[in-house]
Amino acid sequence: MSISSDSLRDTAKHALAGTSMPDMSVSSRAITLPLSHARACDPRVAGNKAANLARAAVAGLPTLPGFVITAEACGDIQKLSSLGHLDPDRLSLLQAAWEVLSHDGARAVVVRSSSWEDAEGSSMAGRFVSVLGVRTWAEFVHAVEGVIASGNIIDLGDAPHRVSMAVLVQPELEAARGGIMFGVDPLDGRRDRFLVSVVDGGPDRLVGGREDGVRYRLSTRGRTIEGPGRGDKKLLGFRQRRALANLALDASRTFAGPQDIEWAIDGDGKLWLFQSRSVAASGSEMSGPPLGPGPVAETFPTQPSPLEEDL
């Protein structure tokens, strides 16, 4: 289902005003929080992925509306082994949040992991479950349980352990273009150049390793320093490149440093921020290229080996 940018902007506007989502923020044990809520900016409550999106929303960056199932609530669900065993009142609040965001199932949603440990410098990228195209309440319940379960056992070479998990829920966007942007030149650490990888459709094709993507190296004004090779499709026009460069600059100011950004452009040409993480090392901190946990790890076609993670 294609969602117009006007519809998404209207929903986002109401969400930021606190009127499109049920008010579940009174109790500190609220099962969900809209991304517009201040507590959603806390990684201990919402996980790093959702917390960064909440901070981006507050800063006015182009983020989709949505809500997060808090880490505490996910812990309760994990202990109960099933979302259906949750207290009926809390389950009703969760269903109400899903109904509002999905328009009673008319709009597909995406259910994504948001771990406290999925942060800069970590090797957690790509290890947790994300479920796209969720349309019914039954599918939503199954997706939430699957995302939470993906954090149950993570073997990092020492001993398996439980990862603190929150769950991020947003409307699914039918993207015309999507990709990853590195807010610093990975070859020399220059912050006046950005590396962009783009594919037709959503960025999941690039993140999941199904496509290599077309690469651009851009100036801060969106001009092409290095573009697609001979035979490659030219997927980005100047306005789109300029919008991406502005997003990289805005995200860098918001998070006090260059970002690893997952993004998409909808059918109306509107740019949306899907995820933002700090680049692990750059500039004077570098002893080599600034290879963080984002594009390098996420564009491997399979889960990285221990050697690849170390590199």
Asked whether residue 283 carries a pLDDT value surpassing 60, the answer given is no
Q: Looking at the whole model, is its pTM more than 0.85?
A: no
Pairing of strands 32-34, 259-266: unpaired
pLDDT value, residue 163? 73
Question: Chain centroid to CA 53: how far?
Answer: 7
Query: What distance in Å separates the CA atoms of residue 152 and residue 136, rounded to the nearest whole number?
Result: 25
Mean pLDDT of 286-307: 43
pLDDT value, residue 208? 73
Q: Who wins on pLDDT, 123 or 273?
A: 273
pLDDT value, residue 43? 94
pLDDT value, residue 156? 54
CB contact set of 78 (below 8 Å; sequence gap of 6+): 148, 149, 152, 162, 165
Residue 57 identity: A
**12-16, 83-87, 174-178, 304-308: which range is least confident on average?**
12-16
Q: Please, are residues 224 and 217 in contact by the beta-carbon 8 Å criterion? A: yes
Angle 137-149/71-80 helices, nearest 10 degrees? 90
Query: What distance in Å separates the CA atoms of residue 24 and residue 89, rounded to the nearest whole number?
Result: 11
Asked whether residue 308 carries a pLDDT value surpassing 60, the answer given is no
Query: What distance in Å separates the CA atoms of residue 182 and residue 290, rounded to the nearest whole number?
Result: 10
pLDDT value, residue 96? 97
Q: Please, are residues 67 and 33 in contact by the beta-carbon 8 Å criterion? A: yes
Mean pLDDT of 186-212: 87
Structure confidence by residue, pLDDT tens digits, 55-106: 999 999 999 999 999 999 999 999 998 999 999 999 999 999 999 999 999 9
Structure confidence by residue, pLDDT tens digits, 106-153: 999 999 999 876 554 444 555 688 999 999 999 999 999 999 998 876
Asked whether residue 11 carries a pLDDT value surpassing 50, the answer given is no
